Amino acid sequence: MSLRLGDSAPDFTADSTAGKINLYEYLGDSWGILFSHPADYTPVCTTELGTAAKLKEEFDKRNVKMIALSVDGLESHKGWVNDINETQHTTVNFPIIADHDRKVSELYDMIHPNASENATVRSVFVIGSDKKIKLIITYPASTGRNFDELLRVIDSLQLTANYSVATPANWKHGEDVVIAPAITNEEIPSRFPKGHKEIKPYLRTTPQPNLP
């Protein structure tokens, strides 16, 4: 059965470039982002892992731990990391799971039957601190992942987890948000003291509530 938003993220223990890792222990109270790759030494994934490494401080600010996965073995991973560091001018600073037996890939339903042998597992899972799956994205092999978008989505997920708001199209951190329909107009002053704008009775906006 496919995983869905809100499901518990399956726990696992696996070898990685940082040693043996248990997912839940590794995440602790943090959020997590698990992103998979079809194989080592693939060009698009090389750029992705380099980009992720450069953005680690941004993920750290959001209390998000990164963990990657590829279906090749640990020794192959180590050689690939050297290439990533060299070509992307960075240092890979998060674990890459060795999934040569595809146990984790199958656990997360990353095996796509319509894909070829070398394009089977290319997914992103954002996992909340409650170990629930908050986001699932599957990319084609030819399109590199947008890590700025992943940071934007995490900002939205963490904001809306704590406040009765939603984020509109193309929202970015610092912009106005939408008040949840369940909040009555009478409740707004106490819930959102910065004020609000009523565009339509069902469309009310307010400044981002977790900013000074």
- The tens digit of pLDDT for each residue in 98-153 reads 998 889 988 998 876 555 554 456 799 999 999 999 999 988 878 899 999 999 99
Q: Please name which of 145, 164, 167 lies closest in space to residue 154, comparing C-alpha atoms.
A: 167
Judge contact between 210 and 167, C-beta under 8 A: no
Please give the CATH topology (third level) of the domain spanning 163-206: Antioxidant, Horf6; Chain A, domain 2 (3.30.1020)
**d(Cα 33, Cα 103) in Å, to the nearest integer?**
18
* Beta strand pairing call for 123-127 and 133-138: antiparallel
Judge contact between 33 and 68, C-beta under 8 A: no
Q: What's the confidence (pLDDT) of residue 115?
A: 53
- Residues of the chain predicted below pLDDT 70: 1, 112-121
Q: What's the confidence (pLDDT) of residue 121?
A: 61
| CATH value of 13-143 in 3.40.50.720, 3.80.30.20, 3.40.30.10, 3.40.190.10 | 3.40.30.10
30 is an active site residue? no
Query: Of 14, 21, 45, 68, which is the active-site residue?
Result: 45
Domain span(s) for CATH 3.40.30.10 in the chain: 13-143
Q: What's the confidence (pLDDT) of residue 178?
A: 98
Collapsed DSSP state (helix, strand, coil) of residue 36:
strand
Q: How far separated are the first and last CA of the chain, in Å rounded?
A: 44
Q: What's the confidence (pLDDT) of residue 122?
A: 78
Q: What's the confidence (pLDDT) of residue 139?
A: 87
Domain span(s) for CATH 3.30.1020.10 in the chain: 163-206
